[in-house]
Amino acid sequence: MKTNMSMKRFSKPLLLALAAAALLGAAALTVRAADDKKAAPTAAPRPALSVTTTQPQRATLPLHIAANGNIAAWQEAIIGTEANGLRLAEVRVNVGDAVKRGQVLATFAPDMMQADVAQIRAVVAEAEAALAEAAANAARARELQSSGALSDQQINQYATAERTAQARLDAQRAQANVQALRLRQTQVLAPDDGVISARSATVGAVLPAGQELFRMIRQGRLEWRAEVPASDLARLKPGMSASVTPAGGPPIAGKVRMLAPTVDPLTRNGIVYVDLAPSRDARAGMFARGEFDIGTGQGLTLPQSAVLLRDGFSYVLRVGADAKVSETKVTVGQRLGDRVEITGGLDANARVVASGGGFLSDGDIVRVVDAGVAK
């Protein structure tokens, strides 16, 4: 009984002491945690990538005017028959053949023409004999004029007969020339140097005069008929250089020959005629793209690796003072080697990511390093 009383006497102070000690320990832990929280600095965001930057550079750029158009023959000659109702006996050329001026392309059967020539030669010989007889009679009459053996009327008759015979001979000779010309027309000749572009001649056909037999590209010359907007026509002059690229072929050098005097009222385009250098890759009727060289000018350029293509538009990643990148839409022009012309959307003092922009997004933070340090 005495023991229980003793335990009750000391349990209450002990419990109070233990509670006070626990409170002090908790307060100390709270103060230490607060101090640790104040002492810990805020963690900085880590850069997404180490990059190098570049700025637009001014460069001298060639100025061009782009255009589309068709390749056509400089001039196309239509070669037909001059003979009428003759049978085509031989065709000596085909499409694609290069021919020379005066070369025989086809021949008609000459039998009928040769018979006509022989007949007219006989008529000419007869007229020559008649003229010789009339001339001899007129000469004798003039000799007898002083003797009075012939009257003046008879002498005039002999002289008139001589002149009539001469006229008949001239007429027959002219007819002989016509027949000789018709005989020569049995041969179809090339009117100029060139390349045969079409053939409709068929051996054995009996053709009327004027029937088309061949088409020929004169001198083998081709031209590019470029459709140029009316606003650009004033910047083009005859003699300017052009580069023409036919479908599926390499570029061909050209030179502006002339500008059309009119503009299409529907398309507002004018035709520019460009003489092309000889090329096996160009064909009449082909579509071609090209550019006219109109001089040089100044422009801003960036490395091609700094320009990104997204959703059909061109972008660059500008780097701000806080090392944060911002996606900026730009317009681009021509390409010159490994550089791209920037025609809008960026000023000359901007810093942009030089390469590797495809791994970054708008708002990313980067670490800017020298070109030799970036990895």
Contacting residues for 358 by C-beta, under 8 A, at least 6 apart? 308
The residue ranges of every structural domain in the chain are 1-40, 50-59+298-368, 66-74+220-295, 79-199
Domain 50-59+298-368 indexed as CATH 3.40.50.10320: no
What integer pLDDT is reported at residue 190 of this predicted model? Answer: 96
Query: What pTM value is reported for the model?
Result: 0.63
Three-state DSSP string of 15-83 = HHHHHHHHHHHHHHHHHHHHHHHHHCCCCCCCCCEEECEECCEEEEEEEEEEEEEEEEECCEEEEECCC
Smallest CA-to-CA distance from 327 within 340, 341, 311, 339 is with: 311
**In degrees to the nearest 10, what's the CA dihedral of 279, 285, 290, 295?**
80
What integer pLDDT is reported at residue 75 of this predicted model? Answer: 93
CA–centroid distance for 43 within its chain = 61
Smallest CA-to-CA distance from 301 within 355, 339, 327 is with: 339
Smallest CA-to-CA distance from 292 within 346, 254, 332 is with: 254
Contacts 24+ apart (CB under 8 A), 153-161: 158/134, 161/134, 161/137
What integer pLDDT is reported at residue 73 of this predicted model? Answer: 95
What integer pLDDT is reported at residue 374 of this predicted model? Answer: 42
Q: CA-CA distances (angstroms) from residue 118 to 88, 175, 185?
A: 22, 12, 16
- What CATH number does domain 66-74+220-295 carry, 3.60.150.10, 2.40.30.170, 3.30.460.80, 3.90.1150.10? 2.40.30.170
Q: Which residues pair with 160 in a beta bridge?
A: none
What integer pLDDT is reported at residue 8 of this predicted model? Answer: 45
Q: What is the pLDDT along the chain (375 residues), one digit of tens a residue?
A: 444 444 444 455 555 555 555 555 555 555 455 455 444 455 556 666 788 888 898 888 888 899 999 999 999 999 999 988 899 999 999 999 999 999 999 999 998 888 888 999 999 999 999 999 899 988 888 887 777 777 778 888 888 998 999 999 999 999 999 989 889 989 999 999 999 999 999 999 999 999 999 999 999 999 999 999 999 999 999 999 999 999 888 999 999 999 999 999 999 999 999 999 999 889 999 999 999 998 888 889 999 888 998 888 999 988 888 888 888 999 998 888 888 989 898 888 888 988 877 778 788 888 888 654 444
